[in-house]
Chains A and B, each alone.
Chain A
Amino acid sequence: MSAQAAFSTEERQEQGPRLTLVPPLRSTVSTVGFALIIMALVAVGMGLVMVVTTSVAAQSKELSGLRTEATLLEYRTASLTTELQTTSATGRLATRAADLGMVPNPYPAFIRLSDGKILGEPTPVRGNEVPYLRQHELTPPTAPRIRVLAGQDDAAAPTPTLPMAPGVDQ
């Protein structure tokens, strides 16, 4: 206690400013205002979430629509591909060629490009040289068949079983 008393005023001044109580801060936003800000933030957040959700839903719907469209186009492509393959089948082309008056030429002849020499004997044809190609009914390629079962029993047609060749282990 005696030591404390020994401090002079000068010494006190050298130690720093004198401590005083900080006056209470005056809040710039009232409690109600703060609540309103929070509510506004929540509202904005929820709005954003709603926008994002709506956007995702809309995009999802659009994606679903595009998927459906792609699937339909795939189906159409597959159908047209099958039609093209069937139309360009060898038997059909041969029939169409014959209908157009084209005839096969059984006499071979080649032109050798290196010297222009003709190999073989070019021979005109009348159209009856290869009778076997038109002699038999040309089996038209089968168009894909729809198996309509309406009004029938749902028993599938039995698949024939293959016979075993004598002495053959299949």
Chain B
Amino acid sequence: MVVMALLVAVCVGRAFQLQAIDAQAFAAEASSKMQSTRELPATRGTITDRNGVVLAATEPAMRITVDPDMVASNGADKRYPMNDKKQLDAKAAPGAVARILAKHLGGQPTDYLKVLQKKKKDSKEYSRYEIVAKQVPASVWSEIQADMRKGIDADGKRPLYGLFAASDPMRTYPNGRLASNVLGFVNAEGKGVAGLEGVLEDDLDGEPGQSIYDSSRYGRIPLGTNVLTPPIDGVSYETTLDSDLQWLSEQALADGMATSGAKTGIAIVLNVKNGQILALANGPSFDPSELAGVDAGDLGNRAVTDAYEPGSVQKVLTIAALADAGLVTGDTEVVVPPQIASGGGFVRDAFSHGTINLTTRGIIAQSSNIGTIDLARRMPKDKLSQYLKDFGLGSKPNSGLPGETSGSVPGGDMADYTRDQISFGQGLSVSAVQMSAAVASVVNGGVYHQPTILKSATRADGTPVELPQPVERRVVSEKASAVTLDVMEAVIAQMGNGKRTIPGYRTAGKSGTSQRFDPKCKCYNGYTASFVGVAPAEDPQLLVYVVLDQPKNGNLGSQLALPVVNNILQAALPRYNVLPSTTPAPERPLTFD
């Protein structure tokens, strides 16, 4: 009787403790055991071209893992002895699973048997976790699951067990290597590490959500806790690129590089009227989905990261500055000697000549360094330096692309010989994007537009994201712009025996052939050939700038880079509905008596 009383007292005491004293703690513990939390990954934003063509997107994918121990027993509870039927299933399971994997992932079943039968290190026990494949499209995983359910005889009577999957989204680049140097790539964790993928990482990535729910061994409890915090998908970006024109430019650049034997190359197509980059090709390029074996130097975007001496293309800016200051016109006459003293030495032209009489137009058409120096000396050095800075040289263009170089422009206190040098493109450095924007401002009536690569951005809910407004400023007058365009047209129309023109359009341009500064030896080593072309010359709409670095078959921009520029212009002008020119290019004096 006493024992019974004690037992009852203990039970009552325990019940009181559970129900009254520790009730909340126990309830919380029970609840936490029932509650599951699952992270809901956000979908990374897409990157498209200006026409909505997808350049980078994310497809749901899975990381497939295997529990070799489970495969070995085909899911049988190992606490109990397996009957004959289960033993037969277990024996057949690894081979059957391997065949399913080979069917959907490629390869041979034997490739998968190794991992399906992998054992723990230094042990005879099977491993409990191995990775089979990463970034398997989710639709493929669904098919694998379906086949696993169908089982050994594909009739659903003997299902297979042991494969698992976790979300492992896959970044796709449907256009392959197109614009890859602009787009960049993501690392194995799906984080952007280069190009636009890298610089826009925080916005593209989005914010993951969360699902909290009560569950039992039979799945979710219908009326239990169910809290869903939806993920916020990443911002999608529309670039200014035109994927068709980008492809054409890459083809033309590849052709130019093959012809010239250049080590690297850049081609840029710019909308002169607003500074939007329509195409930006780099060579060599890479496939963002397959980075193995790619030279690290080819993974960046040389058009913004590399600074080089622009050579004679710089003369366009020199003439524009001089024209704006009222110091030259296209017909300004200059007596050009065979050489000109500068900094204790002499500067000569690329072509041998005696004393010749050239107009400004002739100086640019024949790319005379001596004539350009003569003209540049008419402007105070600080003023010339300021003009170049106003053209955007010496500072990052802030185009939206990562890794931009500022280049360098000597200040107003530069030495006289430095002024002479920079007038024809030595002694200063630029990036290809900087130079494109600067020349575009010259031919755009003198108005500079900051080069841009991003056109718009949209959040996952459809609301627009405000992008920084591109800078716009007048650098030179319309008159100075017209003077410079006039002398640039002479380069095409009055030189080269008609071989520099393209059918249907008047074009203007300027070649550049510069010695390449090698930072390793701190000396000039090799050449950089370039050409900038604009069209139509009557009212320039598009600018194409091509830079070929370290060519082997010649070094002249007019011979190596001009054909590439013309190929691109020929394709780009009709594409942008630019009507053919209706008037012939004017013939104006290059020399005087």
A-to-B contact residues, CB < 8 Å: 56-57, 59-60, 64, 72, 74-76, 78-79, 81-82, 85-86, 88-91, 94, 104, 106-110, 119-121, 123, 130-133, 135-136, 138-142, 144-151, 154, 156-157, 159-163, 165-168, 170
- Residues from chain A with a CB closer than 8 A to the CB of B305 are 165, 168, 170
Q: How many residues of B contact A (CB 8 A)?
A: 84
Q: Which residues of chain A are within 8 angstroms of B258 by Cβ–Cβ distance?
A: 135-136
Tell me which of A59, A110, A150, A161 contacts B101 (CB under 8 A).
A150
Find out whether the CB atom of A160 lies under 8 angstroms from the CB atom of B300: no
B247 at the interface (CB under 8 A from A): yes
Q: Which residues in A have their C-beta under 8 angstroms from that of B176? A: 89, 91, 139-142
Q: Of B202-210, B249-257, B338-346, B446-454, which binds chain A?
A: B249-257
B208-229: CB near A (< 8 Å → 1, else 0) gives 0000000000011011000000
**CB neighbors of A among B96-119 (8 A):** 101, 105-107, 111-112, 114-115
User: CB distance A170 to B567 under 8 Å?
Assistant: no
> B261 interface residue, CB < 8 Å from A?
no
B178 touches A165 (CB 8 A): no
Can you list 18 A-B contacts (CB < 8 A)? A59-B222, A64-B220, A91-B247, A107-B504, A123-B503, A132-B254, A135-B258, A136-B251, A139-B177, A141-B176, A147-B135, A148-B105, A148-B107, A150-B132, A159-B291, A161-B296, A163-B300, A166-B519
Q: Specify the chain B residue showing the minimal Cβ separation from A170.
A: B403
Determine if B307 and A165 form an interchain contact, defined as CB atoms under 8 angstroms apart. Answer: yes
* Nearest CB of A to B27, in Å: 22
- Which 3 pairs between the two chains have the least Cβ-Cβ distance? A85-B174, A141-B176, A132-B255
A91 to B254, CA, bound (A): 14
Given contacts A150-B115, A162-B296, A163-B300, contact A85 B134 (CB under 8 A): no
List chain B residues, Cβ under 8 A from A163.
296-297, 300
Between A76, A106, A140, the greatest number of chain B beta carbons within 10 A of the residue's beta carbon is seen for A106
User: Shortest Cβ distance from B548 into chain A, in angstroms?
Assistant: 14
B59 located at the interface, meaning its Cβ lies under 8 Å from any Cβ of chain A in the complex: yes
Q: A142-B289, A147-B135, A162-B194 are in contact. Are A133 and B248 (CB under 8 A)?
A: yes
Contact of A160 among B291, B504, B567 (CB under 8 A): B291
User: Which of A59, A78, A81, A86 makes the CB contact (< 8 A) with B138?
Assistant: A78
Which positions 485-509 of chain B face chain A at CB distance < 8 Å?
Answer: 502-505
Tell me, in angstroms, the Cα distance from A139 to B350 when the chains sit together: 39
Query: Chain B residues near A74 (CB, 8 Å)?
Result: 60
